[in-house]
Amino acid sequence: MDRAVRRRTFGTLSTMDRRGAPHATAVIYAVSPPDQPLTLFVTTRSTTAKVHHIRKHPEVAFVIPVPHRLPVFPPSAVQFQGLATILEANDTAAIGAFQKSWFHRRILAAEQRIVSQGGQMCFIAIQPNKTIFSYGIGLSALDILRQPRQAAGQTQLPAGR
């Protein structure tokens, strides 16, 4: 499950607005190093709806699609609930996570370009609750079709992760 989270860069972040209505947003994320507690980092601007929602309700849900090799099948998924925190644009852990790959460096540079035209950049740090849920992780698309109940899974994050 850890590998599925670390190998991906795209997910859906769900927050709650002030009325308790859900708000889902597609985001690019980077992950903390394996020797640190699992944290997903998202770049954004302080004026976005997701930041306003998190400041009032830090409880979030996150879904990471994990595509199959055959695109005709729906993707597998990793999903969890957790707590989100708004970090300053100079947070070293978040910046470090976005320096690990060419793709992440490009995303960070694009966000910095956007805020140079007005706005303030920040990061969202998402720490999963101890239980991570999955569907279809580690199974082929045919295995999922043959035994759909076996596709649902969950794992507990080890202490300190």
- Residues 6+ away with beta carbon under 8 Å from 136: 66, 68, 75, 76, 77, 144, 151
**Residue spans per domain, the chain:** 1-155
Query: Tokens 């239980």 sit at which residue?
Result: 131
The whole-angstrom separation of Cα 110 and Cα 88 is 17
Tokens encoding 41: 């980092």
- Of 12, 46, 9, the closest CA to residue 28 belongs to 9
Residue 160, pLDDT score: 65
Q: Pick out the chain residues at pLDDT < 50.
A: none
Specify whether domain 1-155 bears CATH 3.30.1220.10: no
pTM over 0.85: yes
Which pair of structure tokens corresponds to residue 126? 């998402």
Cα distance between residue 120 and residue 125, in whole Å: 16
Place of tokens 């930041």: 51
pLDDT at 147: 85
Beta bridge partners of 123: 43, 87
- Identify the H or E element spanning 129: none
